[in-house]
Structure formats: structure tokens, C-alpha cells
Amino acid sequence: MRAVRLKRWQLVLAFAVAATLMLTLAVVAVSAFLLIFPAVLVGGLIWRFLAYWRGESASRAGRSGGDQVIDAEYVILSHRERGEPSARDADRDGR
């Protein structure tokens, strides 16, 4: 494999392009943070204010109905009770 020898101006140009791309990425990331963070902060404050205004505590604002327990009795139905053929019936019928 042959080593590629770059001229000095090519190295400087490649470094300048890489530095420009990194700087652009940093500026985009910072500006996105500066736009999104305040919007999320204001949204959270509005959410808390509306929850307080409705008489809910701020910690329960996103929950529906609090803690509820559903009590029930469970019954396991056999195939016959459900009206389905069982595995033995299917073998006898040749299905």
C-alpha cells in the first residue's frame, strides 16, 4: 500500500474544513439548547400553574385518579365451557 503525501496547503485546508464543521455543529447544538430549554421550562411552569389552579397537587398533575385497586374473582374456563374443541377432541376427529 502506498502512502499518500499531502502538500502543506492541503493539510491546512483539510484542518480548516474540519474546524469549521466542528464549530458549526457546536453553534447549532448551543442554539437548539437555547431555544428548546426555555420552551420546556415555560411549559413545565404552565403545567404546574394549571394543576395548582385546578386544585390538584403539582406532583399528581399527570396521574389519572390516583391509586386504584381493581378487585375481581378469576375463573379458568375449560375448553368445553368456552365452546372450543380441546386438543384431545381434535385428535379424535382427525383435525
Averaged pLDDT, 6-14: 94
Higher pLDDT: 40 or 3? It is: 40
Averaged pLDDT, 21-27: 98
The band of 89, judged by pLDDT with boundaries at 50, 70 and 90, is low
Per-residue pLDDT tens for 54-81?
Answer: 877 655 555 555 567 788 888 888 878 8
The band of 44, judged by pLDDT with boundaries at 50, 70 and 90, is very high
Q: Dmax over Cα atoms in the chain, in whole Å?
A: 87
- For residue 4, count CB atoms less than 10 angstroms from its CB and return exposed for 0-12, middle for 13-18, buried for 19 or more: exposed
Averaged pLDDT, 18-41: 97
Q: Is 46 left (phi over 0), alpha (psi -120 to 50) or beta?
A: alpha
Helix-, strand-, coil-residue percentages of the chain, each rounded to 5 = 65, 0, 35
Residue 92 has pLDDT above 90, yes or no: no
Q: Are 86 and 80 in contact (CB under 8 A)?
A: yes
Q: Where are the domains of the chain?
A: 1-60
| pLDDT given for residue 69 in this prediction | 78
**What H or E segment, with its residue span, contains residue 50?**
helix 8-53
